[in-house]
Amino acid sequence: MTELLAEDALVTEVARVMVQRAAPSEVPIFDPLSRAYFADRKRALAGDDKGSGLLGFGVAEVAMLATPILLEASHGVVTTLIAEGLLHHTKSTIRQIRRLFGTDQEPEDEGPLPLTPEQWARVRDIVRDTAVSLGTPKTKADLLANAVVGRALLGDTLE
């Protein structure tokens, strides 16, 4: 159970960074959206029976929220990074994630943890493929994936 909770914390932290990069207007609603996602992941991703979209908000004409998509994508990213031995189920991993995505601004840090270009490409593919599988048009999914990994690949940090 503790491992599951630790993984949820990692998924949340990765998704928070992704939202800061790709959908900053959703940062103020990230916490309630992430709680809804973890309370009922299937419903959060499918919407309600009326087809009102992700997390059941709005109607088809309203833009789809990126946060649930990025929460699901971050699950895949965390699973991949753990499988490759880059992350571990520990409290210190949240700091590792922040370093990995270049968001930890502690002065003693030597910069983000390095990922190879191939690993960053996998992170991008996970985000894009997840978005497409949840009904996001491919062009929007590409933009979302590029926004998530773009700053990290360029060495930029969030301010």
Short-list 18, 24, 40, CA closest to 103: 18
The number of domains in the chain is 1
Does some domain include residue 19?
yes
Q: Which DSSP symbol is given to 88?
A: -
Q: Is the pTM of this model over 0.85?
A: no
Instruction: State the sign of the Cα–Cα–Cα–Cα dihedral 61, 66, 68, 70.
Output: positive
Domain carrying residue 120? 2-154
Does some domain include residue 43?
yes
Does some domain include residue 140?
yes
Does some domain include residue 119?
yes
Does some domain include residue 159?
no
Short-list 143, 152, 145, 146, CA closest to 101: 152
Does some domain include residue 108?
yes
159 residues of the chain, pLDDT tens digit each: 444 466 788 889 889 988 988 899 999 999 999 999 999 888 888 754 444 444 444 434 334 789 999 999 999 988 887 777 766 555 556 666 666 776 655 545 555 556 778 888 888 999 999 999 988 899 999 999 988 888 666 555 444
Backbone φ, ψ for residue 132 (5° rounding): -65, -40
Q: Which residues of 80-106 are buried (b: 16+ CB within 10 A; e: fewer)?
A: bbeeeebbeeeeebbebbbbbbbbbee
Does some domain include residue 57?
yes
Instruction: State the sign of the Cα–Cα–Cα–Cα dihedral 64, 72, 70, 5.
Output: positive
